[in-house]
Amino acid sequence: MISIRPPIKRVMDMTTRQVRCWFDHETALSPNGMYQFFGGVTFPTLVKDADTGIPHIVGYAMMLGKHSNGTMYVFDETEWYMVNHVTDMATGAIVNEGIVEWINGIWQKYYASTFGYRQDDDTRFRYILDFERCTMVEPKPDFYLAEWDDDAQPQSIIDQARQQDRLYYPKGSIIFRQLEEQAANTDSKSIDYPAVHALRCCMATMDRFYH
C-alpha cells in the first residue's frame, strides 16, 4: 500500500462534493487546492502472474485526486483479497487482512468513498454484499458502473492524460508497474492487470459522478 502526501487538513464542500486540501509541504505532486476524489476498484479475480504465469486471485483499489487545474494524482492504492479480516477463532488474531481498514482510511484522509467498477454481476454482487454486511466499514463505499463500448475508450483517456502530463503516480507503485507491463503486452485484456482496470473504471466514471 502506498500514500502520496495525504493532506494535513481538508474541508468538504457539501454542494459540489469537492474537498479543499492543505498539505504539509506543497510540491508538484501534492499542491494545495480543491480536489475531486474518486476511486477505482477491481474486485478480486483470477489473473496470471506477470513473471511466473501462475494464475492467482487478487483485487486492486485506488484513490485518485483531480486538482482544480485538471491534474490527477493517484494518492492511494492497495491490492486486496477479501473485504473482512480473517481471524483465528482461538486467539482473535488477524490471519488474513481484509480491505476494511484501507477503505476507512481513505474516508479519514480524503472524505472519499466512491469507486468506479466494471465486472460481471456475480463477482460484483458477492463483494458489494460483503461491504454492505461488514460492520467495520463506515461510511459504506458506493460503487458506480463504468460504461464504455470497448477497452480503447478508457485506455485513450489514460494515454491522453499521461501524454499531457496530467496524470501522476509514484514510480515503483503497483499502477506504475502494471501500466508498463500492459504496454509491453498489447494483446492483453485490462482485467489481466487489475490496477490498470481499476484506473480505467475510475477515469471513465469520475466526470459522470461530478456532473
Domains located in the chain, CATH noted: 2-209 (3.30.420)
**Triad 210, 162, 18: Cα angle to 5°:** 20
Q: How many other β-carbons are positioned within 10 Å of the β-carbon of residue 77? A: 26
Taking each helix axis from N to C end, the angle separating 194-209 and 152-163, rounded to the nearest 10 degrees, works out to 90
pLDDT of 208 = 80
Predicted confidence band of residue 95 (pLDDT cuts 50, 70, 90):
low
Predicted confidence band of residue 92 (pLDDT cuts 50, 70, 90):
low
Handedness of CA 20, 23, 27, 29 (dihedral sign): negative
- The answer to whether residues 63 and 78 touch, using CB atoms and an 8 Å cutoff, is no
Residue 25 pLDDT greater than 80, yes or no? no
Long-range contacts of 189-195 (CB under 8 A, 24+ apart): 189/151, 190/151, 190/154, 190/155, 191/42, 191/45, 191/47, 191/119, 192/47, 192/48, 193/47, 194/42, 194/45, 194/47, 194/58, 194/59, 194/60, 194/79, 195/42, 195/60, 195/62, 195/77
The string of pLDDT tens digits covering residues 38-83 is 999 999 998 877 677 778 889 999 999 999 999 999 999 999 999 9
The string of pLDDT tens digits covering residues 100-134 is 999 999 999 999 999 999 999 999 999 999 999 99
**Triad 53, 63, 210: Cα angle to 5°:** 130
pLDDT of 88 = 55
Query: Helical H runs in 20-171?
Result: 100-110, 121-133, 152-163
- How far out from the chain centre does Cα 189 lie? 18
3-class secondary structure, 190: helix
Using CB atoms within 10 Å of the CB of residue 159, give its burial: 0 to 12 exposed, 13 to 18 middle, 19+ buried. middle
Average pLDDT over residues 84-93: 67
What is the C-alpha to C-alpha distance for residues 175 and 187, in angstroms, rounded to an integer? Answer: 18
